[in-house]
Amino acid sequence: MNPTTSDFQPGPEFKAGFINLLGKPNAGKSSLLNALVGEPLSIVTPKAQTTRSRCLGMLQSETYQLIIGDTPGYLEARYALQRLMSRSIDLALEDADALVWVADMRDDPDQELFLPTLLPTSLPLILLLNQADLLDKEGRQTQKERWMNRFQGLPCLEVSCVTKEGVDAVKAWMLDVLPVHPPYFDPDQLTDLTDRLMASEWVREQIFLHYHQEIPYACHVVTESFKEEAKIIRIEATIYVERDTQKGIVIGNKGSALKVVGTKARQQMEKFWGRPVYLGLHVKVRNDWRDDPRMLKYFGYTSD
């Protein structure tokens, strides 16, 4: 990590560190990061495996720098991209000062196979039971007892990223376990993502929301050009797919499907940056890119 370049001088009791969110796909890690930071940094869709690499969101004050890492969900890797996604989880474990395991409260704790692999750990670890708003009072109590009996000794909180229940308690726990350390980033930084990457991710989010089956997983988005002018931001982005048939589906009849994706993504960008955005989208085919080490390196999934 690059050291902070700000003139800010933290006090001797300043706290800073990395607290990483872990869990299965669709557990709600990205939603939790966004709820804690208050901005849509990590894309969220109902589909599993939306998150492909770690995204950092930061909460800052004069006394702390809380760096929260959203990670891909634990899964059995079937192709090279998924293996790289799993590697990013391993890296998140290496630099963590504390860990947060996010689970869907409705799941069967006896079927939770990945959390036990972290135990025991010397790092502070908390179990968050997400989607609490989807259960009634009796159901919540029953499920919480099941999870706590399965993972005895772990602190446990109920949360809902929809209603924001429990989010303040999560933040309080994080600040409590945060180590005393100088800041890692500038005090005004919100994320480690560049504007180009954020633009690519917002396009990819709309792809996940508007296409089905294998199409979202076969797409990767690259922001080819990002120009900030006096009154407008001009962006050109390319959506890469693996097959000519997928290209036709992404574009749609007379470009109708691609237009919907572009409009929705542009609206998200304008809301976040607070200014007009021109977004040009293009679609190209790169056969089997998810299993091609050269393309995965070009797309930034690996530096090897």
Can 15-177 and 195-298 be said to share one CATH topology?
Answer: no
Fold of domain 195-298: GMP Synthetase; Chain A, domain 3 (3.30.300)
pLDDT of residue 2: 45
Query: Rounded to 5 degrees, what are φ and ψ at 40?
Result: -80, 65
Amino acid letter, residue 285: V
Say if residues 29 and 73 touch (Cβ distance below 8 Å): yes
Domain segments of the chain as ranges? 15-177, 195-298
CATH class in words for 15-177: alpha beta
User: Has this prediction a pTM greater than 0.85?
Assistant: no
Q: Which range is most confident: 3-12, 86-95, 157-166?
A: 157-166
Amino acid letter, residue 233: I
Query: 99 pairs with which residues across the strands?
Result: 20, 125
The residue assigned the tokens 């009634």 is: 136
Say if residues 182 and 10 touch (Cβ distance below 8 Å): yes
Each residue of 263-273: pLDDT tens digit? 999 999 999 99
Task: Kindly report the three-state secondary structure assignment for every residue of 212-258.
Answer: CCCCHHHCEEEEEEEEECCCCEEEEEEEEECCHHHHHHHHCHHHHHH
Each residue of 51-98: pLDDT tens digit? 666 788 999 999 999 999 988 776 565 666 666 556 666 777 788 999
Residue 68 to residue 174: CA distance in whole angstroms: 9
Say if residues 108 and 83 touch (Cβ distance below 8 Å): no
pLDDT of residue 252: 96
> Nearest Cα to 83, choosing from 74, 70, 93?
74
Amino acid letter, residue 87: R
pLDDT of residue 192: 86
